[in-house]
Amino acid sequence: MRFLKTAMIAGASVLAASSAFADGHETETPTTAIVTFALPDGMTELQARDLFMGSVDTFAEMPGLIRKYYLFDEAGPVGGGVYLWESRSAAEALYTPAWREGLAERLGAMPQVQYFTSPVIVDNVTDEVWSAPDAHD
């Protein structure tokens, strides 16, 4: 649990330092992307965790990525991730046709990607609330 708490605090400092959140420097509203894909039948949570751990280094210092949560639903089984990006353009830099095809090749299913703007973010680790500036400001 100590590792998780340390990682959460480190992630929170990245959130606070991100250019998308710096006062007066907002260029785009942060973007949340939800990616889902089918996993092989019978895959367990432990197997999914091991699979996901193989990609951690890819995301550890990815430009524009603030935070990523890996997802698993044994009922599908379905895997995926929830990503908080500094901007939509940062997110789109990852989710290219080549990325989608590569993931489909490795897992046997084409990923689905949904984009959402994130105009308000509550961070309970840093005890901060961020809100997109008013367009009239």
Q: What is the pLDDT of residue 6?
A: 40
pTM attached to this predicted model: 0.79
- Whether residue 123 contacts residue 44, with contact meaning beta carbons closer than 8 Å, is answered with no
Q: What is the CATH number of domain 2-21+28-131?
A: 3.30.70.100
User: What is the per-residue pLDDT across 61-114, written as a single tens digit (0 to 9) for each?
Assistant: 899 999 999 999 999 999 999 999 999 999 999 999 999 999 999 888 899 999
Q: 18 versus 121: which is more confidently predicted? A: 121
Question: pLDDT category, 4, cuts 50, 70, 90?
Answer: very low
Render 95-114 in DSSP notation, one character per residue: S-HHHHHHHHHHHSS--EEE
User: What is the per-residue pLDDT across 17-68, written as a single tens digit (0 to 9) for each?
Assistant: 455 555 444 568 999 999 999 999 999 999 999 999 999 999 998 999 999 9
